[in-house]
Amino acid sequence: MPKSGQTVEQSGIYKCTKCGNEVTCVKGEPFPPCRKCSNSEYKLIRATK
């Protein structure tokens, strides 16, 4: 699973594995830490172009 600091390889909606907060991540940018719980692990929910 992607973690904060890693570069996003697939743009899409990601969900925090801890609190369920959803964030939009863009390819080429680093994953941010979760704003709600500071968790750093994400799961891809829906890929976008």
Among 25, 34, 40, 42, the residue binding Zn ion under the rule CB under 5 A is 34
- Residue 45 in the binding site for Zn ion (CB under 5 A): no
| Cα pseudo-dihedral 27, 36, 41, 13, rounded to 10 | -40
- Residue 39 in the binding site for Zn ion (CB under 5 A): yes
Query: Using CA of residue 45, residue 27, residue 16, residue 22, what is the dihedral sign?
Result: negative
Strands 42-47 and 22-25: what pairing? unpaired
Binding footprint of Zn ion, residue count (CB under 5 A): 8
- Residue 37 in the binding site for Zn ion (CB under 5 A): yes
Q: Would you say 14 or 49 has its CB closer to Zn ion?
A: 14
